[in-house]
Amino acid sequence: MTLTVTQSPPPVTAPAADLKAKSVRGVSAAVLAQGFAFVVQMGTTVVLARLLLPGDFGLQAMVLAMTGFLAMFRDAGLSIASVQREHLTPEQTSTLFWINVAIGATLSVVTVAMAPVLVVFYREPRLLPITIAYGASFLLSSLGTQHRALLTRAMRFVTLAKTDVLALSFSAVVGIGMAALGFGFNAHVAVVGLTALVAALTLVSIAFYVAEWVRHMNAAELGP
């Protein structure tokens, strides 16, 4: 008679268990954030369509035809490199940050330069501030691109989800408020600009706080 020995699976180590827990929390936070973002964006669109004139509401679509194409070059794959690279030095992080800023600045300049062209093409002067707002959003978003990549690398998905929710919620409230007060198409300008601004400021603030916390902990370990 042959005995079959069944080996029990190896015990889950603490780092593996912690990684699994972080992954589960990250996926849950990402799914919830995406769902909330969809609800907020859809709700904002519906409310603005109700509050604004059809002509005001259609201005954004005219600009998106150009900015949507430029947005494909906004990241240039640099954030993926930051996340996947096994070792990332502070010098490399700084270099990637400034490259991202340079790309964002270039896209902003191109967008702002195209603003008068869109005005002439559509014969709609109100496109000028909207196009400039989209151009500024490229630069503002680039300020937080590397910080977002570093948080992703550290699996801080909950923090990223909170950042996106805060930016969308704040810009939606301000945009709807401006539309209700009769600011017209400027409500679109506020939504676009504030979404990028709040997200960038939040990411930079979080990165600064984490860096200060790490510096403080290192100093405490070294002692007086």
CB-count burial class (<10 Å; 0-12, 13-18, 19+) for 162: middle
> From CA 221, how far away is CA 224, in angstroms rounded?
9
pTM for the model stands at: 0.73
Q: What residue has token string 């240039």?
A: 76
List of residues 6+ apart from 177 with CB closer than 8 A: none
- Specify the pLDDT at position 20: 66
Longest pairwise C-alpha distance within the chain: 91
Intra-chain end-to-end CA distance of the chain, in Å: 70
> From CA 70, how far away is CA 110, in angstroms rounded?
9
- Specify the pLDDT at position 200: 87
- Specify the pLDDT at position 102: 92
- Specify the pLDDT at position 107: 92
Long-range contacts of 203-212 (CB under 8 A, 24+ apart): 203/143, 203/144, 203/147, 203/148, 203/151, 203/163, 204/143, 204/144, 204/147, 206/147, 206/151, 206/159, 206/163, 207/147, 207/150, 207/151
Query: For the chain, how big is the Rg over CA atoms in Å?
Result: 23
Listed as ranges, residues in the chain with pLDDT below 50 are: 1-14, 214, 216-224
